[in-house]
Amino acid sequence: MGVKITGLGMHLPDKMLDNKYFESILDTSDQWITERTGIKIRYFSSKDEAASDLAYPACLEAIEKAKISKDDIELIIVTTVTPDYFFPTTACILQDKLGLKPTAAFDLLAGCTGFIYGAEIARNFIETRRYRTILVVSVEELSKILDINDRNTAVLFGDGAAAAIFQFVEDEKGILSSYISADGSKHQNLIMPAGGSKNPTSVDTVKEKLHYIKMDGKAVFRDAVSLMIKATKEALERADLKKEDIDLFIPHQANIRIIEAIAKYFEIDKEKVYITVDKYANISAATIPIALYDAQKNGKIKKGMKVLLTAFGAGFTFGAMVIEI
C-alpha cells in the first residue's frame, strides 16, 4: 500500500527562445550561457497567457493518463510563484476551468521546491485517508518577472506547467520517503523585492525594477548545492536506502554546474542523472515534475525503478523525495 503518482501531464508555451536571441539583446553569447548554465533553449508565455492557461492542458493530460474522472479529484494544490493573481488563488481558477465540482483548492508558494512540498502535503492527506485522489499542479511564468536586460537572470529561466495525480494504491509502494525544510535566514539572496506588503507597488518600485527577480548568484549556487545534498541524504536515510539503490536521480534543473556538483559529491554515474536544463531552463516549481514527465516519455523510467527527486528554491526552501515507479 502506498501513495503513487498515477498520471502526469505537461504543457509548454509556444514561444521558444534559444541563446542566439539573448546574443542580440545582451552582452553575452551562446557559448557563455551554455558553459556556465547548460541552458540552450527556454519557453516564454505570451502576454495574454496566464499561469492557469498553461496548467489547464497539463491537468487534462494527467487526468487522462491516470484513467480517472475529473469528479474523482478531491483536492487541488497549485505550486507557483507566478499565480494569475494574488487572489483569488490559481487553484480556484483552475478548478473552474476544469469544470470540477466544489472541492478544496489552494495555492502553495515554496519556490523551486514547490512540487516536492505539494507532493508531501498530498501524501499526508492521502495516508491519513482524508482524500484518495489529489491533483498537484506546478506552473510558472517566470518570464513575466524577469528583467530581460539583466544578463545574470534573464537567460536562466523559462515558463511551463506540469500536473500530477496522486492516489492511494493497494499493491504498490509509490512514495518511499520525503523530506522538506527551509532556512529563512538567507531569504534576501533570491527575492522579488516589491509588490507585497513590505514594499507595496508604487511608481518608485516600478522605476527601480523591484518587481523582477533579484539574485545573488554565488550565494545561491553555494547554498543550492549544500542544501540539496542535505535533503538527499535525509530522504535516503528515511527510505533506508543507499545511493546505489537509486536508479535515476532528478535534481532541480537550475544550472548544470549545480547538478554536476551534487552528482560528484554522491559519486553518481552520469547515466543515472537526468538532465533537462538544456532544453527547458529553470522553471522553478515546475522543473522537477517536467523532468519526471520527460524521463518517463523518453523511456528512462520503468516500473519498479527507484527515483530520487531533490530541489532548492527561494526562501530558502529545500527538499527531496524517493519514489518507486
Torsion of CA 88, 94, 99, 103, to 10 degrees: -70
Compute the average pLDDT of residues 192-196: 98
List the grid coordinates of 223.
Answer: 547554498
Q: Worst-scoring range by mean pLDDT, 81-85, 168-172, 291-295?
A: 168-172
Length of the chain measured in residues: 325
Pairwise CA distance, residues 43 & 23, whole Å: 16
Q: Radius of gyration over alpha carbons of the chain, in Å?
A: 19
Class assignment of domain 176-324? alpha beta
Pairwise CA distance, residues 77 & 105, whole Å: 6
SS3 53: helix
List the grid coordinates of 176.
Answer: 518511499
Q: What is the pLDDT of residue 172?
A: 83
E strands present in 194-290: 214-215, 248-251
**Is 92 a residue of the active site?**
no
Selecting among 11, 59, 112, 189, the annotated active-site residue is: 112
CA distances from 152 to 147, 155, 214 (A): 9, 7, 9
Selecting among 59, 189, 252, 255, the annotated active-site residue is: 252
- Residue 138: pLDDT over 90: yes
CATH 3.40.47.10 domain span(s) along the chain: 2-171, 176-324
Q: What is the pLDDT of residue 145?
A: 98
Q: What is the pLDDT of residue 1?
A: 73
Sign of the Cα torsion 117, 261, 142, 158 reads negative
Q: What is the pLDDT of residue 129?
A: 95
**Is 252 a residue of the active site?**
yes
pLDDT in tens, 30-88: 999 999 999 999 999 999 999 999 999 999 999 999 999 999 999 999 999 999 999 99
CA distances from 241 to 165, 178, 308, 321 (A): 25, 12, 11, 12
Q: How many CA atoms lie within 13 A of 64 on its CB side?
A: 8
Pairwise CA distance, residues 19 & 17, whole Å: 7
Selecting among 19, 189, 255, 282, the annotated active-site residue is: 282
Strands 317-324, 174-182: pairing kind: antiparallel
Pairwise CA distance, residues 120 & 180, whole Å: 8
Q: Would you put residue 28 in left (φ > 0), alpha (ψ -120 to 50) or beta?
A: beta
Q: How many CB atoms lie within 10 A of CB 100?
A: 18
For 2-171, CATH gives: 3.40.47.10
Closest CA to 41 of 279, 263, 255, 207: 279
Compute the average pLDDT of residues 163-168: 98
CA distances from 103 to 15, 71, 90, 187, 278 (A): 34, 10, 14, 33, 38
What share of residues in the chain are helix, strand, coil (percent, to 5)? 40, 25, 35
DSSP codes of every residue in 71-139: GG--EEEEE-SS-S-SSS-HHHHHHHHHTPPS-EEEEE--GGGHHHHHHHHHHHHHHTTS-SEEEEEEE
Compute the average pLDDT of residues 154-169: 98
pTM for this prediction: 0.98
Compute the average pLDDT of residues 120-131: 97
